[in-house]
Structure formats: C-alpha cells, structure tokens
Amino acid sequence: MRIAICDDEEQERLNIKALVKRYAPELSIVLFPSADELLAAAKTTFFPLIFLDIEMDDTNGFDAAEELMSGSSQPLIVFVTKSTEYTIRGYDVAFHYLVKPLNEEKFYEVLKRALRLIIPQYFSFSSNGELYRIPVQEILYFESRNYMLFIHTQQQIYKTRLSLKEVEPQLSSANFLRIHASFLINLHHVVRITKDDVEMQNHQLIKISRNRKKEVIAAFTKFARENI
C-alpha cells in the first residue's frame, strides 16, 4: 500500500517517514515537498493515508485537504503542524491532528488506528451455512474453480461462493495481487517467482497468466524491495 507525506521541510518529511517505517516497514511511502505536487499525483494515484503539513507556500494544507476529500475516494488525512491554532478547523477534514515536534507514542497510536481502518485485518465469508472470520495474514491465496472460491491457508482450505471479482477490491491494500484469471495471491507468502510460476510458502506452484507476467514481476520486485 502506498501512502503520502507532504511537508515543505525536507527534514520533517524524513522524520515522519522514519517513524512510519519503524512501525510499518511494509508500506510504500511517497514524499512531496508541496501540496501542489501532492494534488497533481493524487489525480492518478490514490493515497489512502496522507500526512499533511498545514503551513506551506503556495497551496496550504487545508485547501489541499478539501480538494482531496472532494473526490469519490476519500483518504485519511493526518495534519502534522507546528501550531495548535488550527486544531478545530483541522478536524473538519482530517482523521487526526498532530503537533510538531512529534510524540512517538502518540504518532504510533494514530498510525495504528489509521491502518486498522485502511488495511483489512480479517476476511469474512460463509461456507456450508457457517460464518467464518479468518486473519487476512493467514491467507496464502484464493483460487476460483468450478464457480466456487477456494481460500488456501497453511492450515486448511475453505470453500465459498464468492467470486474473485468481489474479493480483489477488498484486499488490494493488503498486498494481494491477481496473477491469473483464477488466482489472487498474498505477496507476503510468496517464496519465489520463476519465468512462468509463483511458488507459495506451502510449495504450491501457481501459473502466471502470460499477459500479466510483467505486472506480476514488477509488483513483486517492488514489494520485496520495500520489505527487506
């Protein structure tokens, strides 16, 4: 998942990035020195979480936040500023408001709450008339076969009548990737990628669609670099 940090002071951007990486090293972080650059990027890329300074040259944080929140997909915005005078107005558009210098304990508390809202922790489904709720991190991959969806974990395989089309949007922020018309895999459980297959932690080889190979290799390479 890709998040954004926007602050016109480079050291502040780096400080926030370091705090995020310490708590959530799997996140991809894009840094912006101005609100205008953030807004330009947001036209083509959705950032579900944005740490945003308020007092900046050109477009300020408030105006940027209002524009970001006017779209069909609304991010969680955390204002990070040196002043407390904007607190009341800040909560009109922001998920939270943090004052510099940042208190690490408070920062991690806010980040943890935000990620719980953005990244699904559990996957719920019904199977044979029973309801299940399993941790997303335990899912190796989904397999669509014979109009059924098979959910593969290390312990067992569940079967449900959901489709990959329904499931994929729910889990894209949790690093699940479609590698084939019939398979959606959890990148956290990939051991290696060959020319034609993906090997999962349960030693299962899953075929990569020919038209998805470049996308799969690029996505896994990026994921691996960000999770060293």
Over range 60-67, report the average pLDDT: 91
Superfamily of segment(s) 122-226: LytTr DNA-binding domain (2.40.50.1020)
Q: Is the peptide bond before 120 cis (omega within 30 degrees of 0)?
A: no
104, pLDDT greater than 70: yes
Domain coordinates in residue numbering, the chain: 2-118, 122-226
Q: How far is CA 32 from CA 14, 17, 93, in A?
A: 11, 11, 20
43, 34, 30: which is closest to 8 by C-alpha? 34
Pairing of strands 197-200, 205-207: antiparallel
Over range 128-142, report the average pLDDT: 94
Confidence of residue 202 (pLDDT cuts 50, 70, 90): very high
88, pLDDT greater than 80: no
**Token representation of residue 7:** 């602050």
pLDDT tens per residue across span 161-186: 999 999 998 898 788 999 999 999 99
163, 122, 156: which is closest to 140 by C-alpha? 156
What is the value of pTM for the model shown? 0.66
pLDDT tens per residue across span 204-228: 999 999 999 999 999 898 888 776 6
Task: Tell the burial category of 131 from Cβ atoms under 10 Å away from its Cβ (0-12, 13-18, 19+).
Answer: exposed
DSSP letter, residue 170? H
Q: How far is CA 9 from CA 5, 79, 80, in A?
A: 11, 14, 12
Give CA–CA dist 79/53, Å, rounded.
6
Please tell me the predicted confidence (pLDDT) of residue 151.
98
Q: How many CB atoms are located within 10 Å of the residue 39 CB? A: 16
Q: For the chain, give the mean pLDDT.
A: 90
**Token representation of residue 173:** 């922020």
According to CATH, what is the number of the domain 2-118?
3.40.50.2300
106, 134, 131, 130: which is closest to 120 by C-alpha? 134
Size (the chain), residues: 228
Residue written as token pair 């990959």: 164
